[in-house]
Structure 1
Amino acid sequence: MTKPSDSRVATHSAKSTRTALICVGVAFGMLGMSFAAVPLYDLFCKVTGFGGTPQIGTAATGKVLDRFISVRFDANVAPGLGWKFEAESPEISAQVGITQTVFYKVTNRSDRTVTGIATYNVTPEQSAAYFVKIQCFCFTEHTLKPGESFEAPVVFYIDPEIAQNRDLDGIKAITLSYTYFASKAGQPVAEDQAGTAKGDAKNPKL
């Protein structure tokens, strides 16, 4: 039986090493993509308004339209949190292009210290691309002792560019909806009535 030459053995070893490195690289690449998927999806939603995600801005454009749209403020609390959550006004008439400020109040009515975090969306979803938030309390953890309260503003405007979307000519009302969940490691967690964690509430439809 002919013994393989050293060169053939070396070539085979090099190919095996290269294949192993490629497999490791693919594995790490897939792992990195899985970690990046959520923030990339969140970024996509914020840029496009997809899924009812409002836009993020720093100031109104200065352009104002002679058009008013009712903005409704929905406030929800996940079961088990024990908080009271409400907007100072359930609805306002907002002039397109004008910056508006509305306050929400949160009170811990339970007998324990609780950390909560709010998620949000806008309906109808098509309008989210023109609903620009300047300041918001969403995705920020808040810890309240029993009976403790706090107020937080939402500052926003409706982008005048909405007038360029003929499909939204007939829109009369927009709903900004928040839901407070118990928070674990900075993520919203759905709970049952007894306060037992049921799993992450990732990007819920509110």
Structure 2
Amino acid sequence: MRTAYEKGVTFFDTAEVYGPFTNEELVGEALAPFRDKVVIASKFYFDLESSEGGLNSRQEHIKKVVESSLKRLKTDRIDLYYQHRVDPNVPIEEVAGAIKDLIKEGKVLHFGLSEASAKTIRRAHAVQPVTAIQSEYSFMERDPEQDGVLKTCEKLGIGFVPWGPVGMGYLTGEINAHTNFDSKTDLRAESKNSLPFKV
């Protein structure tokens, strides 16, 4: 990461679930010497500290986990804080309200959503302006063009951040029908049977 910074990279994306927790720790340690010269994005959504696991985007949970992320990232603010996925159990207005409070407190600078529908984006944006939408987008995955997400971002002035732009590795030419994925650590193992038909 420090080499990346030396070569001009200034945006670093992580999440509490990566590891879990260990990636935020790594990012925090790596970027600490030049924290004020980079942008850090992180994400919340999962109930990682509960023995039951699952999802949790309630206001009180968001306000709790942001404190843990700030400590791991060795910073006093997260530049872009995404809801990692839309929580079907919590109104998006409640999530946006929690982020609005964190922005007022200076702990978060900008609000992002990942894999949100056009309708959800508009509802969230009405409470707290959304800065960025992150969705899967590549030559294999074109949904943002069809489901109104790109048009909504353009209309509202929201940045669009594609994840998986090389088809989670399938478009690099290094993966084929015989490639094996670890079923415990690689999400591509679940969708391997369907992906060759998309290529």
TM norm. shorter chain > 0.5: no
| TM-score tier after normalising by the smaller chain length | under 0.3
TM-score of the two chains, using structure 1 as the length reference: 0.20
TM-score of the two chains, using structure 2 as the length reference: 0.21
Larger helix fraction of residues: 2
**Structure of larger gyration radius:** 1
| Bigger RCO (CA 8 Å, 6+ sep) | 1
